[in-house]
Amino acid sequence: MSFVRTAIAASLALGVSVTQAQVATKIKVGLMLPATGTFASLGTAIENGFRLYVTEQGGKVAGREIEFVKVDDESEPSKATDNVNKLIKRDNVDVLVGTVHSGVAMAMAKAAKDTGTILIVPNAGADAVTGPMCGANIFRSSFSNWQPGYAMGEVVAKKGHKNVVTITWKYAAGDESVRGFKEAFEKAGGKVVKELSLPFPNVEFQALLTEIASTKPDAVYTFFAGGGAVKFVKDYAAAGLKKSVPLYGAGFLTDGTLEAQGGDADGLLTTLHYADSLGTPRDNAFRASYAKTYKLQPDVYAVQGYDAAQMLAAGLAAVKGDISKKAEFAAAVEKATIDSPRGAFTLGKSHNPVQDIYLRQVSGAENKVVEVASKALADPGRGCRL
């Protein structure tokens, strides 16, 4: 801090503008991610991805060093407003990056909007963040919950399934993923015959699995992620359902989870904006760099973190590191093509990625691409006025 003051005082004495002095200081990135709970490993992968991009740029983005301030949001919506305000008001961050959980992200979006702080969401799919709550200063590097769900609705209908049961956690992400699925599936003539749910982050699936067995649908569609996804896939197989009722999901079901799920995940089909076997030079380079740095294979969360950093870099480059120029920053991110490991993408009008959704199949430790299920799928951005 004293360096900042000294730098500003010195530059004022020299007749240099305050802006130039600010540019000489670090950009403060407030990372609000889960470090505990069912989504803890997702938070780690996002942070790893973000830091990897910064490191690849020599620790600077648009000439400015990055300083991180972190809060563990615990995927706990009731603490979200306090947590985000710590970053905005106590730590005075220049930009917010977070989070995984949709309920927490909506509180972040509200605080970002109220204060004009730039927010980049590196996972949470809450439709509202790029819908009714959208903002000129709010961007997403990930997906909307609607996107993978909608793509899977078309896939499951094409497979000839007619009656489907859905099962998920009862909160924004689960509800919206199922809604996207249902929209496409029922448009194509299918019927969602039962919508099962349990509170987040519960994992007592037994009674619901018994209900699926007695309902005997043609297929099941699900949204679970992180630790809950590991347990659901294992319990589904242990209940004997894997053999009798095909299970489909948004790709989070099998992303970052395969080691723990083992053979119980083998063969599962999911839809997502990333896969482990894209084989493009861009993705190969990213995967090699991530594996070398962290001694781990990357997953979709790592990609979203990496791309959040790329979006920050696109905006910062346009304003030559002066993040106070918010309108120019936003205009640059809106126009940018992000060279993502998933495939290059641009943002739609409501600031959500317009992207290919892959149909993937689990084979051993990988989510392998089967085909592009939905090309350049844009979230409808319903309710967003920008």
Residue 40 or 359: the one with the smaller Cβ distance to ligand PHB is: 40
Count the residues in the chain: 386
Question: Which range of residues in 121-129, 263-271, 303-311, 323-331 is near ligand PHB by CB under 6 A?
Answer: 121-129
Closest by Cα among 107, 110, 95, 103 to 124: 103
Residue 223 host element (H or E): strand 219-223
Instruction: Using CB under 6 A, pick the residue from 252, 274, 290, 345 that binds ligand PHB.
Output: 252
Question: Which range of residues in 1-9, 120-128, 203-211, 369-377 is near ligand PHB by CB under 6 A?
Answer: 120-128
Closest by Cα among 124, 158, 152 to 138: 124
The answer to whether 236 contacts ligand PHB (rule: CB under 6 A) is: no
The answer to whether 124 contacts ligand PHB (rule: CB under 6 A) is: yes
Asked if residue 14 lies in contact with residue 20, where contact means CB atoms within 8 angstroms, the answer is: no
Residue 27 or 151: the one with the smaller Cβ distance to ligand PHB is: 151
Instruction: Using CB under 6 A, pick the residue from 7, 156, 184, 225 that binds ligand PHB.
Output: 225
The answer to whether 120 contacts ligand PHB (rule: CB under 6 A) is: no
Residue 129 or 212: the one with the smaller Cβ distance to ligand PHB is: 129
Residue 100 or 134: the one with the smaller Cβ distance to ligand PHB is: 100
Distance between CA atoms of residues 240 and 244, nearest Å: 7
The answer to whether 308 contacts ligand PHB (rule: CB under 6 A) is: no
Within 161-280, residue ranges assigned H as helices are: 172-187, 206-215, 226-238, 241-244, 258-261
Report how many residues bind ligand PHB under the rule CB under 6 A.
13
The answer to whether 165 contacts ligand PHB (rule: CB under 6 A) is: no
Closest by Cα among 278, 273, 237 to 252: 273
Contacts of 123 (CB under 8 A, 6+ apart): 42, 46, 99, 100, 105, 142, 301, 304
DSSP class per residue in 345-382: BEE-TTS-EEEEEEEEEEETTEEEEEEEEEEEE----T
Q: Rounded to the nearest whole angstrom, what is the least distance from the CB of residue 255 to ligand PHB in the complex?
A: 7
57-82 core/surface letters (b: 16 or more CB in 10 A; e: else): eeeebbebebebbbbbbbbbbeebee
Which residue minimizes CB distance to ligand PHB? 225
Distance of CA 103 to the CA centre of its chain: 13
The helices-and-strands tally (H runs, E runs) of the chain is 14, 14
Q: Rounded to the nearest whole angstrom, what is the least distance from the CB of residue 171 to ligand PHB in the complex?
A: 7
Instruction: Using CB under 6 A, pick the residue from 37, 125, 149, 153 that binds ligand PHB.
Output: 125
Q: 135 to 154, contacts with ligand PHB by CB under 6 A?
A: 145
Question: Which range of residues in 86-94, 117-125, 259-267, 375-383 is near ligand PHB by CB under 6 A?
Answer: 117-125
Instruction: Using CB under 6 A, pick the residue from 48, 83, 102, 166 that binds ligand PHB.
Output: 102
The answer to whether 122 contacts ligand PHB (rule: CB under 6 A) is: no
Q: 343 to 372, contacts with ligand PHB by CB under 6 A?
A: none
Residue 322 or 379: the one with the smaller Cβ distance to ligand PHB is: 379
DSSP class per residue in 125-194: --GGGGTTT--TTEEESS--THHHHHHHHHHHHHTT--EEEEEEESSHHHHHHHHHHHHHHHHTT-EEEE
The answer to whether 303 contacts ligand PHB (rule: CB under 6 A) is: no
Instruction: Using CB under 6 A, pick the residue from 23, 61, 100, 192 that binds ligand PHB.
Output: 100
Q: Which residue ranges make up the site for ligand PHB (CB under 6 A)? A: 39, 42, 100-102, 123-126, 145, 173, 225, 252
